[in-house]
Amino acid sequence: MMRTRSRLWWSLVLLSGAACAQQPAELRLTLPPAIYTVVGQPLGVWFDNVVLTPTPEACRFEVSCPVGSSDARRWLATPTAEQVGEHPWRLRVLDAAGAEVASGQSRLFVGPADRGAGRALKLLVIGDSLTNATTYVNELARLLSLPGNPSWTMLGSNKVSWAAPGVVHEGYGGWTWQRFATHWEPAPDPAQRKFSSPFVFLDAAGQPKLDVGRYFAEKCGGQVPDVITVLLGINDCFGANPESQEAMDQSIDRMFSHADTFVAALRAAAPQAVIGLGLTTPPNAREAGFQANYQGRYTRWGWKRIQHRLVQRQLAKYAGQEAQGLWLVPTELNLDPVDGYPDNNGVHPNAVGYQQIGNSFYAWLKHTLR
């Protein structure tokens, strides 16, 4: 049923006659340096997620890669064992007349299904409402429980009733990098969604202080994670003015200042951990999802411009730091903006979309297990 709806939607917009006439600088084709996949697990790149245009359906997308295949909306691969290794991945964007208007490239890494088998792994998953929904964390746990994987333990203080066995995290609806780094709630009340940051404690002088080491000691039984994932950014930047790049960049700069503080604290308390920063996820392709949530106060195209600029800035700031244990996870690629979202929500995926996020984290994690 979902695939039928997707094909119908795409057919209707193709009939709109809109032209992919933007220049490369306007289209802002944005690709991460690496795409991670695992043998036997499907993973895709939805083209709407890598260009900045209100009419991606008016463009033609051509992928050149020895792995996977493309249709009008996406490239999709379920790699085989014979395809393990690194492959070039190139994308051309063409207008209706076949003229190239943008191009870019990445590297595709196909990991074996048994990478990391026999290891023991401790994970800490941090995020906002997408993490609190727990669906992608449950999917990550399911994938890690397949044959050929390390044994795993999740650390965290937030265990919701719908979490799978062993699944805990630090995911809270509406939270930001700043809130994780600074927020202290003197009268916490979970029933009212009033929480202190689990990483902030009162010091000897009675002042709130970010103390990740104390968090590990008191809330994780002294265990320190081997892997930390963070998926944030929506709440930090959602309210920026999309009509002004300066305003968007100011919002992103504020976010980065708090992210720097929090990441440095994580690194100091867990110096051997691998930290994966998820690239902020794209919006629902339907304006109706935003109308249902925000009644015209915020629009799909407004958030799309902010989110796309945020991903550009995340790539510029964090790419190339793998040797220091800091990785980018391309969670913005493998999320179907149509079938991965319900009709009535702008930024929160449905089960399909959440599972795609979990698959992205899983594929990246398997790549890091050497």
Q: Are residues 130 and 91 in the same domain?
A: no
Q: Are 83 and 110 in contact (CB under 8 A)?
A: yes
Prediction pTM value? 0.93
Q: Which of 111, 133, 154 marks a domain boundary?
A: 111
Please tell me what DSSP assigns to residue 194.
Answer: B
Write down which residue in 89, 111, 133 finishes a domain.
111
One domain for residues 70 and 189: no
Tokens 């629009």: give the residue: 299
Q: Are residues 61 and 129 in the same domain?
A: no
Give me the tens of pLDDT residue by residue for the chain, a chain 370 residues long: 334 344 333 333 333 335 576 666 689 999 999 999 999 999 999 999 999 999 999 999 999 999 999 999 999 999 999 999 999 999 999 998 999 999 999 999 999 999 999 999 999 999 999 999 999 999 999 999 999 999 999 999 999 999 999 999 999 999 999 999 999 998 888 777 788 999 999 999 999 999 999 999 999 999 999 999 999 999 999 999 999 999 999 999 999 999 999 999 999 999 999 999 999 999 999 999 999 999 999 999 999 999 999 999 999 999 999 999 999 999 999 999 999 999 999 999 999 999 999 999 999 999 999 7
Residue 369's contacts (CB-CB under 8 Å, 6 or more residues apart) are 115, 116, 119, 121, 150
Task: Give the CA radius of gyration of the chain.
Answer: 20
- Chain centroid offset of residue 145 CA: 21
Give the chain's domain count. 2
Same domain, 107 and 124: no
Which CATH number covers residue 23?
2.60.40.10
Note whether 91 and 132 are same-domain residues.
Answer: no
On whether both 45 and 140 belong to a single domain, the answer is no
Cα–Cα distances (Å) from 313 to 242, 318, 339, in that order, read 15, 9, 27
Same domain, yes or no, for 59 and 151? no
End-of-domain residue from the set 84, 111, 138? 111
Is residue 171 located within the same domain as residue 106?
A: no
Q: Report how far Cα 271 is from the mean position of its chain's Cα atoms.
A: 23
Range of the domain at 165: 120-368
| Residue 282 contacts residue 304 (beta carbons within 8 Å) | yes
- 129 and 49 co-located in one domain: no
Clarify whether residues 147 and 275 are in a common domain.
yes
Give the domain CATH number at 125: 3.40.50.1110
**Lateral strand order in the sheet of 34-38:** 34-38, 100-111, 85-94, 60-64
**How many C-beta neighbours within 10 Å does residue 102 have?**
24
